[in-house]
Amino acid sequence: MRKTAAALLALCAFGAQAQEYPGKPVTMIVPFPPGGVADIVGRPLAAAMEKSLGQPVVVVNRTGAGGAIGMTAAAKAAPDGYTILMALSSISIFPVSDPMQGNPAPYQISDFMPIALVTADPTVLVVSAASPYKTIQDFVAAAKANPGKINYSSSGIFGTLHVAMEMFANAAGIQLFHVPYQGGGPAVTALLGGQVQALASGPAAAVGQIKGGKMRALAGWGAKRLDLMPELPTFKELGYQDVEFYIWSAVVAPAAIPANVQHRLRAAVRAAVADPQFTGAMAKVQTPISYLDAPEFKDFWVADANRLAAAVRKIGKSAAK
């Protein structure tokens, strides 16, 4: 009887504790530096989530290895709901790319539980406004005439921006020189500073510079033209049928979090994406919200991960150079 009573008390205590979630601040890991898509979306989302959760949502930039360091930290965090991750589509790449390079996978997609998709934008190819490349045809012709001479920045080896650019280079039959940085923000800064000649960028990180006359967009990786840039042709329109890539941002958590905590986080993100504070922030950077709750996001993620895995294997080890 005493053991049964003790077990019941423990169960009740656990249940009460679970019902109280969150009882302390929640950490949102952003695996890239400020200035990139994950940070541009993550910070206002965290601020809006606080209203629903009733606790601070503290953004921590855990950068390095194209986002893999922060993503791995989130995968290995305690599954209690107090660590969540602002993930980008590159989360699906490292379990495939690292073994290709002879390294163990830092995590598996199954280590994460989907909470919600927030945005999903195709990348755009940008060059400096002072660049001689006015069209994608100019760019490809120059790259073919000077193999390996045109350089481009990215968020890191096999990160989101790297894979997008190598996907294009592979389809176009050109060789480019890859210069990896620690995130999308530094990659944009490198282009603006003249250290590199091109970049595959999320629209949110580039649109201000494009409109300000500092960058020029040449093509987009989407299946259709961006509403934000209706004049910009897609790679598919230009004859590169296999070149399609999206930078999506989403909230995920360690896979073993309790069901009630997942539901609480789902509700918090659902409320946050409708909050005027967040919608206003996204409108300011002209990033459309593409919200999907966990079940729909899971299906979206599986399909996208399969497509990215196929692209990474096709690109091969040469893309890591």
Q: How confident is the model over 285-312, as pLDDT tens digits?
A: 888 899 999 999 999 999 999 988 988 8
User: Is the domain of 222 the same as that of 257?
Assistant: no
Say what percent of the chain tops pLDDT 70. Answer: 93
Does residue 159 lie within any of the structural domains?
yes
Does residue 275 lie within any of the structural domains?
yes
User: Is the domain of 143 the same as that of 221?
Assistant: yes
Does residue 5 lie within any of the structural domains?
no
User: Is the domain of 64 the same as that of 173?
Assistant: no
Tokens of 6: 């003790």
Cβ–Cβ under 8 Å, residues 57 and 50:
yes
Domain extent for 78:
23-120+247-318
User: Is the domain of 191 the same as that of 56?
Assistant: no
- How many folded domains does the chain comprise? 2
Does residue 16 lie within any of the structural domains?
no
Does residue 2 lie within any of the structural domains?
no
Global pTM?
A: 0.79
Instruction: Tell me the mean pLDDT in the region 116-138.
Output: 96
- In a 10 Å sphere around its CB, with 0-12 CB exposed, 13-18 middle and 19+ buried, how is residue 122 labelled? buried
User: Is the domain of 128 the same as that of 210?
Assistant: yes
Tokens of 224: 């259709």
Q: What pLDDT, in 10s, does the model give residues 164-194? A: 999 999 999 999 999 999 888 899 999 999 9
Query: Which value, in Å, is the radius of gyration of the alpha carbons in the chain?
Result: 21
Q: What is the CATH number of the domain that holds 106?
A: 3.40.190.150
User: Is the domain of 185 the same as that of 97?
Assistant: no
Q: Point out which residues pair with 246 in neighbouring strands.
A: 122
Give CA separation, 275 vs 37, 124, 125, 217, 240, in Å: 19, 28, 31, 31, 39
Does residue 18 lie within any of the structural domains?
no
Helical residues (DSSP H) of the chain, grouped into ranges:
2-19, 37-53, 68-75, 94-100, 136-145, 160-172, 184-192, 203-211, 259-274, 276-284, 294-315
**55 or 205, greater pLDDT:** 55
Give CA separation, 261 vs 59, 176, 238, 310, 315, in Å: 19, 45, 46, 34, 39
Residue 36: the pLDDT is: 81
* SS3 call for 46: helix
- Is it the case that residue 268 has pLDDT exceeding 80? yes
Does residue 3 lie within any of the structural domains?
no
316: Cβ contacts below 8 Å, ≥ 6 apart: 100
Q: What pLDDT, in 10s, does the model give residues 180-231? A: 998 888 999 999 999 999 999 988 778 889 999 999 999 999 989 998 889 9
To 10 degrees, the CA torsion angle through 8, 9, 15, 16?
150
Q: Of 245, 266, 300, which marks where a domain is finished?
A: 245
Does residue 208 lie within any of the structural domains?
yes
Q: What is the CATH number of the domain that holds 147?
A: 3.40.190.10
